A and B are shown apart, each in its own frame.
Chain A
Amino acid sequence: MPIKPMPTNTTLLDRRSCELRRQIVRTFEAGKRGHIASAFSLVEIVRVLYDDVLKYDPKNPRWAERDRCILSKGHGCLALYVILAEKGFFPEEELWKFCHSDGILGGHPEYGKVPGVEASTGSLGHGLSIGVGMALSAGYEKASHRIFVIGSDGESNEGSVWEAALCAAKHKLNNLTLLIDYNKQQSYSTTYEVLELEPFADKWRAFGWAVAEVDGHNIEELRSALAKVPFDPAKPSAIICHTIKGKGVSCVENNLAWHHKSRVSDEELEALYADLEVD
């Protein structure tokens, strides 16, 4: 079998993207552990969602008319926590208690514990079905809010994802958008080696979804795609975001050793901060 090259991405990160990543590193440092590479690959996805797309009120996180956003790849929660803190869902100080016994922010996000978190995730393959239920409820209520689910490539190994995909298409859930963080790596190795997903976009199309593919680190591409959902009024929308696991820090990018880190040296932390210097 020919070996596929590691994915590349030359999109330059702007000041805000670097600062969000630095905040992720600070949170990671406070918890002394975390899926930092998985968080780095979805920074721009959550940034654009919370900056430009989602309707929400951080002071009233259960506001009935809010858009629902489920991070189905729960292990990427460092990126979500940093955005939620910045937007005021909870005080920034909570970040410094990441994974602490007296904190609300764990290694996977929990519903009911973290304001702004719509569903407890961590085990893969749950978020899309929950999102389908929420989308059906919104349809029944004739409510205008929308449902966004952030999934991943490794997660798409789970059969439950494809059960939910069939169901969403059957119900023509045009209020449901799935963003897939497609960094082509999972815990053990590349997605090519562990369980090939290609032709990935075609699979989603075949399952009845309207699909777009974007550079998942390119703010304008993400904004533009998200501004167009639903792509088809009779279908759920999938945005396949081509990303780099660990994007932004050279020693982490495409480095499987960084999938989950529980022991990080001072030198490694320095390297993380150094690569994310804001000019």
Chain B
Amino acid sequence: MRRTCLNEVFELAREDERIFFVGSDLGFGTLNEFKNEMPDRFFMEGVSEANVVGLAAGLALEGKIVYVNTIATFITRRCFEQVVLDLCLHNVNVRLIGNGGGIVYAPLGPTHEAIEDIAIFRALPRMTIVAPADAEEMKRLMPLTVDYPGPIYIRLAKGGDPIVTDSAQAFKIGKAYQMREGGDALVITTGVTLKAALDAADELKAGGLDTSVLHVPTVKPLDVETIRKAVAAVPLIVTVEEHTIIGGLGSAIAEIIAESNFDEPKRFKRIGIPDVFPDGYGSQDGLMAKYGISSTGIVSEINELIRHAF
């Protein structure tokens, strides 16, 4: 997904002279082809995220479309005020590419785990947040980011993630997509956890439970209409995200459910990282499984909700 994203930036820049790339201090050789072919639109400005984001805003105020790429924690935490003021307040076309959204960097520990990036950016007026499920979806997203108005946060997963979306499927920023239909339960997810949701739906189906899966690649602005319709159709909803359960997708869905004032009560559970810094290293999958962010975790939470009658 990461390679697809950066390669798309390169390909799009070849076609569009407004596109600039700004990195902080990325891995050796990153986007060499961009640097070689378009050196005057390629910037690598050092471990200085505040300046990198401010500089990107200055370029964008002059009509450029700027892709800024660095590790997700640094681009969201370190320069948060620059994102708020330089990007959102000025409403400029800067695209922040956050590498390792969620707990991709599990072995590197909490300094590198972006577990609240969606929550803090979701509170920002004018910010758009996208978390594609796989490289295939990333490929469909990237061309749309060129002329989409205002700042965008693109949350990248690890890379090499299994392909679960279909190139034939339509993709629009701001739309949620029904990936499985079923009337017994609904799993709502964003980013790479779509895979776990689909696996869980298959497993539940085998046990006789028809489960819908709604994929929400754009966490902001939310496709409220589609989400409300999907929620209305089922008695039981589970959200899944590689993110703290505070303020992310689950919270956003909870807000929609609460304010929809359905006549029929709903059973609801957020699956994600509880209010802790993830403890332990190992692998992304291992750490996710620890917090129930897995097909097994989803199946077990849904069964638990079914067991608890109103």
Question: Given B43, B62, B86, which contacts A129 in the complex, CB threshold below 8 Å?
Answer: B86
**A63 interfacial contact with B, CB 8 Å:** no
Please state if B89 and A120 are interface contacts (CB–CB under 8 Å). yes
Chain B CB count within 10 A is highest, among A112, A138, A140, for: A140
Which residue from chain B places its CB closest to the CB of A141 in the assembled complex?
B62
Interface residues of A in 118-168 (CB under 8 A from B): 118-120, 123, 125-126, 128-138, 140-141, 159-160, 163-164, 166-167
**Nearest-Cβ distance from residue B42 to partner chain A, whole angstroms:** 11
Note all chain A residues with C-beta closer than 8 A to B53.
129
Please state if B64 and A129 are interface contacts (CB–CB under 8 Å). no
**Contact A163/B48 with A112-B90, A120-B90, A123-B85 known, Cβ cut-off 8 Å:** yes
Note all chain A residues with C-beta closer than 8 A to B86.
126, 129-130
Please state if B54 and A129 are interface contacts (CB–CB under 8 Å). yes
**A200 interfacial contact with B, CB 8 Å:** no
Which residue from chain B places its CB closest to the CB of A137 in the assembled complex?
B62
A-B contact number at CB 8 A: 92
Question: Given A123, A132, A159, A163, which contacts B58 in the complex, CB threshold below 8 Å?
Answer: A132
Note all chain A residues with C-beta closer than 8 A to B6.
none
Complex Cα distance A163/B55, Å?
A: 10
Which residue from chain B places its CB closest to the CB of A70 in the assembled complex?
B58
Which residue from chain B places its CB closest to the CB of A158 in the assembled complex?
B50
Which residue from chain A places its CB closest to the CB of B41 in the assembled complex?
A140
Which residue from chain B places its CB closest to the CB of A110 in the assembled complex?
B89
**B45 interfacial contact with A, CB 8 Å:** yes
Complex Cα distance A110/B85, Å?
A: 11
Complex Cα distance A164/B46, Å?
A: 11
Contact flags (1/0) for A97-111 with B, using CB distance below 8 Å? 000000000000011
Please state if A160 and B45 are interface contacts (CB–CB under 8 Å). no
Note all chain A residues with C-beta closer than 8 A to B82.
126, 129, 160
Please state if A133 and B46 are interface contacts (CB–CB under 8 Å). no
Complex Cα distance A118/B89, Å?
A: 13
**B40 interfacial contact with A, CB 8 Å:** yes
Question: Given B41, B43, B46, B85, which contacts A126 in the complex, CB threshold below 8 Å?
Answer: B85
**Nearest-Cβ distance from residue A150 to partner chain B, whole angstroms:** 15
**Contact A134/B58 with A126-B85, A129-B82, A140-B41 known, Cβ cut-off 8 Å:** yes
**Nearest-Cβ distance from residue B95 to partner chain A, whole angstroms:** 15
Complex Cα distance A142/B57, Å?
A: 19
Note all chain A residues with C-beta closer than 8 A to B56.
133
**Contact A133/B59 with A163-B51, A167-B45 known, Cβ cut-off 8 Å:** yes
Question: Given B48, B57, B85, which contacts A133 in the complex, CB threshold below 8 Å?
Answer: B57
**B60 interfacial contact with A, CB 8 Å:** yes
Note all chain B residues with C-beta closer than 8 A to A119.
57-58, 61, 90
Contact flags (1/0) for B273-295 with A, using CB distance below 8 Å? 00000000000000000000000
7 contacts between A and B (CB under 8 A): A112-B90, A129-B86, A130-B55, A132-B51, A132-B58, A140-B41, A164-B54
Closest 3 CB pairs of A and B: A133-B58, A129-B54, A163-B51
